[in-house]
Amino acid sequence: MIPNKKGLFGILFFAALGLWWIFCLPATLFDLPTSTVLFDKNDQLLGARIADDGQWRFPPGDSVPKRFKTALLTYEDEGFDSHFGISVKAILRAIKQNLSEGEVVSGASTITMQVMRMAGNNRSRTYYRKIIEIAQAFRAEFRYSKSELLNLYASNAPFGGNVVGLDAASWRYYGKSAHQLTWAEASALAVLPNAPGLIYPGRSPEAFLKKRNFLLKKLLENGKISQISYELSLLEPLPDAPKRLPQEAFHLTALVAKTRKGQRVRTTVDPELQSRCNRALTNRLKLLRQNHIQNGAVLIVNNHSGEVLAYIGNAKGDWKTNEDANDMIQTPRSSGSILKPFLYAGLLNQGTILPQQLIPDIPTQYKDFAPKNFDETFSGAVKANEALSRSLNIPAVRMLNQYGVDYFYEDLQSWGFTSAHRGAANYGLSLILGGAEVKLWDLVQAYRILASNCSQGKADRINYESVEESIELPVQMSKASSWFTLEALKEVTRPEERSAWEAFGSTSQLAWKTGTSYGFRDAWAVGTNPDFTVGVWIGNANGEGRPGLTGLNAAAPVLFDVFNFLPTAEWFQEPFVGLMAEEVCIHSGMRAGKDCPKTKTTSIPKSCASNELCGYCTTVHLNESGTMQVSAQCYPTNLMLAEKRFALPPLQEWFFMKNNPGYQGVPDFDPACHEESKNKNIRLIYPASASTIFLPREYTGTKEKVVFKAACTDPSAVLFWHLDENYCGSTSGIHHLEINIDRGVHDIAILDIAGNEFKTQIRVD
C-alpha cells in the first residue's frame, strides 16, 4: 500500500530527524588548544606551558579521581550512572521552578548535557538550545562510556579565571595532583564549575564556603564520608589566589613544547635529583657571579637505560634576566679540550698507538697553526694516557694529525655530535682544541656510550621520555679501547678547591674530563662511572669570556657536588675479550724491541698487535767507565761496553730532561772521536729545521721579528748565531735570539767556542 503524501512526509521527516540524531555529534567534541604538561617519573608535575588561547587547560587524563567523582555526582548528577543523558524528573522540576519564577533559575542539566553545552562553547541557555543539548546528550550516551563522559567533563569544565579542567585547577589552586585531593579540596573544586564566574578562589569566599560545606553535608548524609572526615573537612581553608605551577624543569618543558606541544608527557626525571642539582648549580653561581659568570647547565643520565634523571638547562631564576631562558644543554658552544678522549679511543681502536706510548710534546708548527699547552710548557715526550689525563694540547694535535682530521670528524658524527657540521676541512687540526661547537646533550650522550660500551655494549641515544624506543648510534668502538680511555680519565687531577670533592668517597672512582674554550668563554666538566654520566657547562650565555672561567675551576666543583648526590658504583671490570698480553718497553710504552733495556708484560688492545716496535731504544758503545760514547775508530774494542739505552731525539730530550732528572739518554762522544761528536750538542728548537715559517706584521704594518730558540747540552756554553753567513749575536744560558729576517730561504748556523756547530735552512713566507 502506497502511503499518502502526509504519510510520506512524516516518514521522511522522522527519517531526517533520525539521521540528524545519529550524526548530531561532531567527530571531536573538543578541539581547543591544550597546555604542554610535563611530569616526572613519579607522575608529579615538573612544569607546564599555557595553551595558545591563554588558558590553563591540561590534556585529558586517563581517569577521574574517585573523591572528585563522588563529590561531583553528589552535587551535580546523582543519577549519572543510571540515566541515558537526561533526567526527566529534574527536567519537570526545572520547568516548574522556571515558570513560577518567570525566568530560568534551574537548568536540570545532567553531566552529559553539561558536556554537550561545553562542547557547544557554552551558548546561551534557551529552551531551543536545551532541546538540542538533550538530543545530543542522549546520542552521546551511545557513543561514549560513562567514564569517558565523566573524563570529558573533568577535562573541560571551567574552574574560574583562565583555569579549565580538573587537573589544571588542582595544580593551580592546591599545588598537587587531582588524585591527591582531600574530601574538602575535591568538594571545593566540584562546586566551582556550577558558577565559576561568581565564586572562585579569591572572590566571594562566603558564598564559596557555603557551597562547599553544603556539599560536604550532603556527602555525610549520603554515607560517602564519615562524621570525623566531615568535621575535619569543615576546618580546611578554601584555596586562595591561583598558585604558580612548578618550574623545576623550565627548559626541558620548553624543549618538549617544541616537539610535543599541547601534550601530556611523562619524563624519566628524578624529582629529588632535579631539585638538588638546581640548588647545587644555583649555589655555585652565587660565587661565580662575583666574577660576572652568570649561567650554567647540568645533565644527568642513567648509563644502563639512557634515561635522563636531571635536566637543568640554566640556573634557576626568573628566566628573564642574565639570559637565563637560554637552554644551554641544547645550545652549541666551543668544545675546548672535552673531545680529546674520543680521539684517544679512536687511535687505540685503530691500533695506531698503545696506551702508554710516548707522544712528542715539543714546540710544533703546522703552517700558520702553532698549538700551545694551557700552561705554555713542554714535556719533551709524554705517555699517551698521561697526555689525555693532563689534557695537553700539543700531543693531542700531533695525534689528530696522525689519525687524520677526516677520520676523526666522521667519528664525531657516529658518536652523535650533531652541531659539528662545517666539515673536516673547515675545522682542521683545531678540531681537537675547541674549533668545533658541541652541545652538552651530545657530549653526555657520547661519554655515556663510552662508559656503557665497557659493560653492556649499548650505543643508543639518551632520552628524557618514558618510552621503550631506543635508537642505535653507529659507534664502532672495541670494549678494550673504551676501557683504556676510561682508565686514563680516572687519573685526571681534581680541582684545587677541595670543598667540592673531598666528600667524594675515596673508593668511588670516576672517569672525568674538563674543557675550556678559547677566550675563557666556556667551562666544561663531564664525568662517568658504570652507572651514571654527568655533564656540566658554566659560562655566559651571551658568549662573554671571563678570566678564570676554566673547566677545572668553574665546572668541576659542580660535577663533584652532583656525584656526591648519586649512589657509589663499582669500577669497570677489565674486559675479557679484545685484550692480549704483550711485552712492552717500560720507557717508551711501545712494543718492545731488541734494544729495549727494560720491558714488562702487560695487556694491550688486540688492535695494537702489529703496532711498530720501539724506536727510541738503541745499543750504544761506551768507554770503559761508561761515561762517553766511543767507536772502533777511536777506542780499543776490547775495552768497549755495549749498553742498551733509552734515548729521545735531541729536541724532545732537551725538554724531557727538565722534568725527568733520572733520564740518562746517550752520553756525548769522547772528544777523541771528534767527527762523531760534532753537531751532537746543539739543537734548534724554533723554528724546526728545514721548516717554513710565516712572518706576521704588527698593527702598524711593520714586520715582526722572529725569536729563534736553541738548546745546548753544555749549560755553560756560549752560542754564536749566523744568518746567511752574517753574524747576528751570541746567547748564553737561555738561547733565545730575536732576529730581523726577510721573506725567502735563509741559512742558519749556530756555533760554540769548542767548534761544535749546527746548520740548517729555513724558508720565511
Q: Which residues are catalytic?
A: 76, 337
* φ and ψ of 546, to 5 deg: -140, 140
Residue 437, beta-bridge partner list: 334
CA 388 remoteness from chain centre: 21
**Of 541, 49, 508, 491, whose CA–CA distance to 293 is shortest?**
541
**Of 353, 330, 319, whose CA–CA distance to 443 is shortest?**
330
Element (H or E) spanning 763, and its range?
strand 757-764
- Given the C-alpha cell 623545576, which residue does it identify? 248
Between CA 38 and CA 566 the distance in angstroms is 24
Residue 601, beta-bridge partner list: 583
Termini Cα distance of the chain: 112
Task: Could you list the beta-strand ranges (E) of 9-151.
Answer: 36-39, 45-49, 56-57
Between CA 680 and CA 683 the distance in angstroms is 8
- Given the C-alpha cell 557554552, which residue does it identify? 122
Which amino acid belongs to residue 376? Answer: E
- CA distances (Å), origin 224, targets 47, 69, 74, 209, 530: 34, 11, 9, 20, 52
C-alpha cell at 589: 710504552
- Given the C-alpha cell 668563554, which residue does it identify? 521
The answer to whether 720 and 752 are in contact (CB under 8 A) is: yes
CA 350 remoteness from chain centre: 27
Q: Which residues contact 319 (CB under 8 A, 6 or more apart)?
A: 250, 325
Burial class (CB within 10 angstroms; exposed 0-12, middle 13-18, buried 19+) of 299: buried
**Of 191, 187, 193, 190, whose CA–CA distance to 160 is shortest?**
193
The answer to whether 759 and 747 are in contact (CB under 8 A) is: yes
**Of 63, 35, 60, whose CA–CA distance to 48 is shortest?**
35
Strand, coil or helix: 447: helix
Number of neighbouring beta carbons within 10 Å of residue 569: 16
Task: Could you list the beta-strand ranges (E) of 592-705.
Answer: 599-605, 617-622, 641-646, 682-686, 692-693
Between CA 484 and CA 615 the distance in angstroms is 23
Question: Is the sign of the CA dihedral 32, 35, 40, 44 positive or negative?
Answer: negative
Strand, coil or helix: 583: strand
Between CA 195 and CA 206 the distance in angstroms is 14
Residue 708, beta-bridge partner list: 737
Q: Are strands 437-438 and 333-334 parallel, antiparallel or unpaired?
A: antiparallel
Strand, coil or helix: 220: helix
